[in-house]
Every structure is written in structure tokens, then in C-alpha cells.
Copies of this chain bind each other. A is one copy, B any other.
Amino acid sequence: MTRTEPARNPKPVTLTDVARLAGVSVATASKALNGRDQVAPATRQRVIEAADRLAFSPNPLARGLIAGRTGTVGLLTSDLVGRFVLPILTGAEDAFGAGQVNVFLCDARGDAIREQHHLRALLSRRVDGLIVVGERTDPRPSLGPDIPVPVVYVYAPSDDPADLSLTPDNTGAARLAVEHLVGSGRTRIAHISGDPAYAAAQDRAVGTREALAAAGLELVGDVMFSDWTEHWGRDAAALLLEHHPDVDAILCGSDQIARGVLDTARDLGRRVPEDIAVMGFDNWEVLTTNSRPQLTSIDANLQHLGRTAAQRVFAALDGVDVGHGIQYLPTRLVIRGSTIARR
């Protein structure tokens, strides 16, 4: 007798079962359970007990048939690592308090065919709306205008300006970072970033330059682009410290790069943060909180992004005009020991 033997498995209990056990009609049972006030207290009690006894839980889809809304959104992603999509998912679920929203995540792995396949599956399952998440902030192809439910693009914006997209404000984020460094007394600031083909790399570089200019400073050397790895962080830092030994802060394009930079700094005997401040980007906890010292970083507020996306989906369902185009949401500075000495 295994749980995986379908023949043995009971059907889910329906309102009809409850009504029968309580000796009332389905309508009465429905009213009793939904707190309508046209039911005798004794009857209500009986129904509730029956429901409890049968462990009844209403079929949300049947409710959705009537309400025209199921409280479920589909989350289409291509973020294999899940670094971005999972916080976004969590945020979306919490958009209206616990247990109000269901999110179904499907992974398309960057494949248009798979995306269509999942899209169909989600739509036929009556999701109220869709959230589409990509793993970089470069525009991605729109799902098109023919989706029968509201769609919000998150992190990776849609390439169609008629769509609504929510993405972190990377330019502003870099500004935050530089202001933090300058505010804590740094003046010789360099920027080691990742793959220049990423919009995120470009936006952060622009923001860095702008904020430096605003503070009357100039970047030490050029922005160093290559890839988003620790390895590059190590190499770049070695190069940088050789050519510009007087650098007193390194803003990195990702936490991984920052980890590499920390390694090299240590190898070369530079103390962090005393001699050099090091900052990461993305606030990926497994990297930031485990390094020596812990990494100051920029958090993209992904949960907030997810929450906002879900709220927009349901607002659109309510007929509210939620706007369109790319909306840039604020990021958050997380200060740790790599920029400010403890105590």
C-alpha cells in the first residue's frame, strides 16, 4: 500500500460531502463556512464541525470560476541559479499578506519554445496574471500583446514599451555606493566590473562616474570590464594595485568580483577596510556574509520588486491603469565590515 498507488487514493472532499454529513444543502454549507449571516448559529456550528472532520478545504479554482479571479500568478523565469527569481517569488507571495496569493514558478531556461509551453500550461490553469523574470537587466523579447491576463516583467525589462517592466535602478545604485565611499572619507576610487555586454555593468559604470563627478572626484583608472568571476576580481585587483597603488576604495560590479578583490588585497598585504575599502554588488548572502571582512554591498530589493509586481498584476485586474514602460526601483545599501571598520 503505497502513497503512489492511485487506486487507493481518496478523492478530495468537496462541499457536497460536508453538506451531506451536516445534513444541510450545499448552499447552506457554503454560507455557513463563508460567514454569511443568514445561518442559524447551531447549523453553522454543525457545518463547521463536519468540515473539520472531513478536513474540507474549498477548491480555489471553483471559487475562481465565480469570482473571476483565482489569486494565482504564474512566474516565468530563465534564472537557472535562482538568485534573482526566488526572492522575487517570495515577495510576490507576500504582496497581500500570507496565504492570499499563490505563485507557480516555471523555468524556461532561456528557451522560447519551453517558454511558450509553460505559458500555455499556466494560462490554461487560470492564473490571474504573469510575472516574467530574466536574469539580466537587458531587455528581453516581449511575450507579445496577445496574453489574456496582465503581465509584468521584472528584473529583465520587456523590449516592448507597451509592456510594464520593473527593474532595479542600477545607476542610482552605483550612486548610492559612491556616496557611501566618499562619505566615509575615500577619494581614490576605482571600479572593477564584469561583462561589459551587460546593461547592469554599463549602468553601474555610468552611475559611478556621475556620482564621482558630483563629488568633484574622478575615477582612478578606467572602469575595468571582463567577467563576473572571482578570478577576474583577483587579477583585476592585482593589476589595479600595481598601477595605482594609492587607490583607497574599489567598487566592484558584483559580489563575486569583490570576493576576488578581497583575496588579492590580503595577498598583497593591504588591510580592508583600513587601507582599502571594497564594495560588492547584489548582496548575495552566501558571498557577502562569509568573506573576511564581510562585504558591504548593494541590495536590489528583489522582494520588494516581486511584491510590487504582484500588486500591479492584481491592480490591473481591477481595471486600474498601472502604466507601462520601464520603471526603475530603488536599491538599498547594506554596510558591512569591508568599508567601515567595526567598533
Min Cβ gap A170→B in Å is 21
Nearest CB in chain B to that of A117: its residue? B99
User: What does the 1/0 interface line of A300-324 toward B look like (CB < 8 Å)?
Assistant: 0000000000001100110101111
CB < 8 Å neighbour of A322 from B4, B10, B60, B231: B4
Residue A123, interface by CB 8 Å = yes
Nearest CB in chain B to that of A7: its residue? B319
Q: Which residues of B contact A105 (CB under 8 A)?
A: 104-107
Residue A47, interface by CB 8 Å = no
User: What does the 1/0 interface line of A250-283 toward B look like (CB < 8 Å)?
Assistant: 0000001001100100000000000000000000
Q: Are A82 and B90 in contact (CB under 8 A)?
A: no
* A164 CA to B259 CA, complexed, in Å: 42
Which residues 140-194 of A sit at the B interface, judged by CB distance below 8 A? 142, 145-152, 160, 162-164
Residue A109, interface by CB 8 Å = yes
Nearest CB in chain B to that of A233: its residue? B290
Q: Which residues of B contact A324 (CB under 8 A)?
A: 2-4
Q: Are B104 and A90 in contact (CB under 8 A)?
A: no
Q: Are B12 and A60 in contact (CB under 8 A)?
A: no
Residue A5, interface by CB 8 Å = yes
Residue A89, interface by CB 8 Å = yes
Min Cβ gap A76→B in Å is 11
Copies in the complex: 2
Min Cβ gap A254→B in Å is 11
Q: Are B121 and A60 in contact (CB under 8 A)?
A: yes
User: What does the 1/0 interface line of A209-234 toward B look like (CB < 8 Å)?
Assistant: 00000000000000000000111001
User: What does the 1/0 interface line of A5-43 toward B look like (CB < 8 Å)?
Assistant: 111111110000000000000000000000000000000
Q: Which residues of B contact A61 (CB under 8 A)?
A: 61, 124-126
Residue A86, interface by CB 8 Å = yes
Q: Are A104 and B104 in contact (CB under 8 A)?
A: yes
Min Cβ gap A68→B in Å is 10
Q: Which residues of B contact A244 (CB under 8 A)?
A: none
* A189 CA to B11 CA, complexed, in Å: 55
Binding site for B on A (CB under 8 A): 1-12, 55, 57-62, 72, 80-83, 85-86, 89-90, 93, 98-99, 102-107, 109, 111, 113-114, 116-118, 120-126, 142, 145-152, 160, 162-164, 229-231, 234, 256, 259-260, 263, 286-287, 290-292, 312-313, 316-317, 319, 321-324
A-B contact pairs, 14 of them (CB 8 A): A3-B150, A3-B162, A6-B149, A6-B150, A6-B319, A9-B145, A9-B146, A9-B150, A61-B125, A82-B82, A86-B107, A93-B107, A103-B106, A104-B122
